[in-house]
Amino acid sequence: MRVLCVLLLALGVTASAAPLSPAARAEVDALLARLHSSGCEFNRNGSWHAGTAARAHLLKKLDYLEGKGLVKTAEQFIAQGASASSMSGKAYLVRCPGKAPVESAKWLAAELQQVRAARAASAPR
């Protein structure tokens, strides 16, 4: 009986730490690629960073969240990993050339809508 309990616990931990589905991971990868190539800067704890550094930082956060089984969708990644600093609690910002900074959650949500619209437009009918 003890062996069965230990086995069930182990399976439960493994199942809860499952990575994003391929579709959700593709959306997150597309968001991070857009941030990387956008020419926009990313503000984290008062410092502005280029898209390359922002992408690298957010990938680390994604890896952590996936390892804990805390994200299943792109929206969850935005809310739990890409909206605010887990250290300070300060909201992340995105500043694109010629535009005022906006909270990263808003910028990423708008980009996610564009990613999904592009995918839907290119889907076979």
Per-residue pLDDT tens over the stretch 74-118: 999 999 999 999 999 999 999 999 999 999 999 999 999 999 999
Confidence check: pLDDT of 17 > 80:
no
pLDDT in the model for residue 5? 42
pLDDT in the model for residue 16? 52
**Helix axis angle, 22-37 relative to 51-67, nearest 10°?**
160
Closest CA to 40 of 85, 93, 77: 93
Higher per-residue pLDDT: 14 or 73: 73
